[in-house]
Amino acid sequence: MASELLPAHNIGHFPLDRGYLFSANGVVELFLGASGAEAGVAHFAHIGGMLAAIALMVYWSRPRHHSWLD
């Protein structure tokens, strides 16, 4: 899903799949939120935003059925 919406990323000369990038970011946010490191940053809010974005992409990727606008 995300690969359709965002361009590819390269770190140096190494291509990085977006799924790995987003997963690593989620794991880091979860670790920092659970450990209490970097106080003053709402790590669980970032995780909630990631989950909301995934839910929205899943909703948008569903086939459209009968709509009153059709």
On whether the CB atoms of residues 60 and 4 are closer than 8 A, the answer is no
pLDDT computed for residue 52 by the predictor: 93
Residue ranges covered by each domain of the chain: 2-61
Cβ proximity of 32 and 41 under 8 Å: yes
Q: Kindly give the confidence (pLDDT) of every residue in the chain, 70 residues in length, as a single tens digit, with 9 standing for 90 and above.
A: 555 555 566 666 667 777 777 888 889 888 988 888 877 888 888 889 989 988 888 888 887 766 666 5
φ/ψ of residue 59, rounded to 5: -60, -45
Joined tokens for residue 54 = 């995934």
Task: Please indicate, yes or no, whether the overall pTM of this predicted structure exceeds 0.75.
Answer: no
